[in-house]
Structure 1
Amino acid sequence: MIATIFYILSAAALLATLMAITRKNPVHAVIYLVHAFFALALIFFILGAPLVAAWEVIIYAGAIMVLFLFIIMMLELTPGEAARGPGWQRWAPVILLSGSIVVCTLLLMTAEPQAGPGGPNFYASPRDFGYGLFKEYALAVEIVSFQLLFAAVGAFYVGRGERTRRRARGDER
């Protein structure tokens, strides 16, 4: 049963990611990306990494998506696609993805992933994970944090108006 849930979640993550890439409306793309992150969090849980699953939900599906929505609002991006067709055609992908993720979550709540066949025989405790993250891979963590800092500074600069940019350069007219 765990293997079946794994494949359902994998298909949901791939479909949600594909929908996020192909949407012209940036808010719709973010919503599909949140679906993909929730499916990935459940996959991490199945693979025996509940801490990583929790971080996936808290950091990526929560904080990073709020940052993306903030950047969309700051850049004043307008939707690229108009509403077309009946309402059920627009909502069908979201409902199917949400339904599959909710059903898989309920199934996982009734089954222990480590107990059945197909589940991993290992478990990474939060202490072991923290030790590996901040001792063995400390340089990689710092590089990623600097990349996020540079992305935030770049988004701030791009979001400023042209007049503010000219004033910052000193060539105000």
Structure 2
Amino acid sequence: MELTFYIAAAVAILSTVMVITRYNMIHALLYLVVSFLAIAVVFFTLGAPFMAALEIIIYAGAIVVLIIFVIMMLNLNAESVKTEEEWLKPRIWIGPAILSAVLLAELVYIFTAAEFQQTAVVAVDARLVGIALFGPYMLGVQLCGMLLMAGIVGAYHLGRQNKKVIHRFLEKEAAQ
């Protein structure tokens, strides 16, 4: 189990570095999903299957969908359709597919290992997690929501400003 933890942690670090170094937003998003899945495997190996499920559902599901909507909102011109076709070439999917295959092999090993079947997993009650989040940590949950909303509004504003500047530049070039 300890080896699977270190492999999943290495995949998480590698995929997170790939998120930071990618210039293309879609490529970074693919590696971000792999990073979230790797962190879910880390949680699972540490004995927190509920947190692993929350990591996949909340982050790899909801946050990635939110990012996709922001990307769609910022790419409103006709030129972006042509560039999006280039993003979907199979060579782009090789890196995330390899890292995901490593995580899948780890999960198969974890589920088939005798250690996993012998250890008793302590169940975390979802009701208690909800009471904790909306009880003493309510301010933190609200601040996270406000931070996400501020990020979306800021990205939209910056995206619209850049388009205005680009359109003004193109109009000046056409006038000359």
User: For the superposition of Structure 1 and Structure 2, which TM-score range results when normalised by the shorter chain?
Assistant: 0.7 to 0.9
Residue 169 of structure 1 corresponds to: none
Residue 37 of structure 1 corresponds to: 36
Q: Deviations over 1:111-136 (max 9, x none)?
A: 464845xx9x8653323322322222
**Superposed displacement of residue 35, structure 1:** 0.1
**Superposed displacement of residue 48, structure 1:** 2.2
Show structure 1 runs of 5+ residues with no match. 163-173
Query: How many residue pairs align between the two structures?
Result: 153
**Match runs of 1:76-115 below 5 Å:** 76=75, 92-111=94-113, 113=116, 115=118
* Cα pair distance change 1:125/1:47, threshold 3 Å: farther
Residue 67 of structure 2 corresponds to: 68
Q: Is the 8 A contact 2:111 2:117 kept in 1?
A: no
Residue 3 of structure 2 corresponds to: 4
1:125 maps to amino acid: D
Greater shift in the superposed pair: 146-155 or 107-116: 107-116
Q: Deviations over 1:85-114 (max 9, x none)?
A: xx76x5542232011111011122224648
2:130 maps to amino acid: G
Report the Cα distance in structure 1 between the residues aligned to 2:29 and 2:128, rounded to whole angstroms.
32
Q: Is the 8 A contact 1:134 1:141 kept in 2?
A: yes
More relative contact order in 1 or in 2 (CA 8 Å, sep 6+)? 1
Report the Cα distance in structure 2 between the residues aligned to 1:59 and 1:132, rounded to whole angstroms.
17
Backbone CA RMSD of aligned residues: 3.0
**Superposed displacement of residue 6, structure 1:** 0.3
Q: TM-score when scaled to structure 2?
A: 0.72
Show structure 2 runs of 5+ residues with no match. 165-176
1:106 maps to amino acid: V
**Superposed displacement of residue 12, structure 1:** 0.3
Identity of aligned residues (%): 42
